[in-house]
Structure formats: C-alpha cells, structure tokens
A and B are shown apart, each in its own frame.
Chain A
Amino acid sequence: GAGVSQSPRYKVAKRGQDVALRCDPISGHVSLFWYQQALGQGPEFLTYFQNEAQLDKSGLPSDRFFAERPEGSVSTLKIQRTQQEDSAVYLCASSRGQGATDTQYFGPGTRLTVL
C-alpha cells in the first residue's frame, strides 16, 4: 500500500470496555511496531513484531494490553477493560528491515479517549 493505515482514527470507550485497534503496514515490511503517545510527549514503545513473531513486548503497560500479527501483515492492538489512563494516541509503524536498523514509517494513529 501507499503507506501505513490505522483504523479507527478515533475511538471513544467507556471505562471497562474492550477496544481493538487495527494497523495495516506497508506491504512487504518485515517489522511492525506499536507506540503510545501521550499529549505533548514523544512516542513510547509498546511492542515489536518481526513478521508474525512478537519479539519484544516490554513496553506493554499491563496484561490488559495484547497485540497480535498472526499472518505477518495486519496487526491488532487490543486493550481490555480500558481505564482512563489508557487515553492516548496509539501509533503503528512499519519498516523493511529488522528492529531499529531501518527507517520506520508511521500511520496517522488512533486517538483513544476513555470516559
């Protein structure tokens, strides 16, 4: 595809609801990353996939956060029992190379608001 796409662009959830955020990376990109960005801050790493393998999930803030990339392409970030502190922009990025060896291209993000 032309770039990384994410859906939905905006999501409002009531506290306690589960949400699923989708990322479509650039076709053929091996690596996929999820970041969380709070207002006025830089992106904070959540998790990294190389193809379908989740190689690093050290940034996931709690076991309520779960990510998958079953076929090595599209990825879903799921947040269970959302809390107000989960409100943020969730960014997805993909790169051709492995890990932090190549340029990461970002999607537009999903803005999650938990009421």
Chain B
Amino acid sequence: GESVGLHLPTLSVQEGDNSIINCAYSNSASDYFIWYKQESGKGPQFIIDIRSNMDKRQGQRVTVLLNKTVKHLSLQIAATQPGDSAVYFCAEPTPNFNKFYFGSGTKLNVKP
C-alpha cells in the first residue's frame, strides 16, 4: 500500500506486505530528515534519518528515500508486521534550523 501523507492519513496493509509512507516537505534548504514511529500512549520513537547528501538509506526492514527535486520523502517498511501498527511522522528542520517541524502523521494499520 502507499500513502500520500497528509492527504491520506490512514494506511491499511496486510501483514507481510510492504508499506510505503510518503511525506512532502516544504523547505528546499532542509538538510536533515527524521522518521519517527509513535505507538498509542508512547512518545515518538526514532526509526531512521537521512541527510540531504544521500538519496537512500537502509535500516533493519526500513528504507528511507529522499527526492530533493520534488521535495519528497518516503519510508518503506518491508514485510510489515502487526507491531508496525502506529502513527508515523516525518520531521524536517524549520528554516532557522532551531527546531523540527512535524506533520500530522500517517496512521499505519496492519491487518493480520
């Protein structure tokens, strides 16, 4: 399944399928991006980050892709598991690089 971020806040996928969560960012000068996972009742948990000198970065079952041309970020989760059910946020620095801006997130539901 694929999400377009703020325009489709909920993504439902079957267990075992791959998930793609998208995020559009606004500041072309942003040079660092972070993906967070937030489970119900918990604080956001760091998943993976990427700097603007990279197009792709892989972690354990997760891959982040960065397309600076269209200012787009995506998080790919391989073989989605029930434990992946959460809200996912991308974060980008504000123009003064003093703080991060978080979108409203995408909720991922994994169906068994």
Q: Which residues of A contact B (CB under 8 A)?
A: 4, 33, 35, 40-45, 48, 55-56, 59, 91, 93, 99-101, 103-109
Contact = CB atoms under 8 A, between A and B. Distances in A.
Interface SS of chain A:
mixed
Nearest to B51: A101
A103 to B, nearest CB: 6
Interface in B61-99: 89, 91, 93-94, 96-99
B91 to A, nearest CB: 8
B100 A45 contact: yes
Interface residues of B, number: 23
A43 B94 CA distance: 14
B52 to A, nearest CB: 12
B7 interface: no
28 contacts: A4-B43, A35-B102, A41-B104, A41-B105, A43-B89, A43-B102, A55-B98, A56-B99, A91-B43, A91-B44, A93-B43, A99-B96, A99-B98, A99-B99, A100-B94, A100-B98, A101-B93, A101-B97, A103-B34, A103-B46, A106-B36, A106-B43, A106-B45, A107-B43, A108-B42, A108-B43, A109-B42, A109-B43
A43 B44 contact: yes
A105 B46 CA distance: 7
Interface-centre pick from B43, B49, B89 (highest chain A CB count, 10 A): B43
A98 B108 CA distance: 31
B43 A56 contact: no
Contact of A42 (B45, B89, B99): B89
- Minimum-distance CB pairs A-B, first 5: A100-B93, A42-B102, A106-B43, A106-B44, A99-B98
Nearest to A38: B104
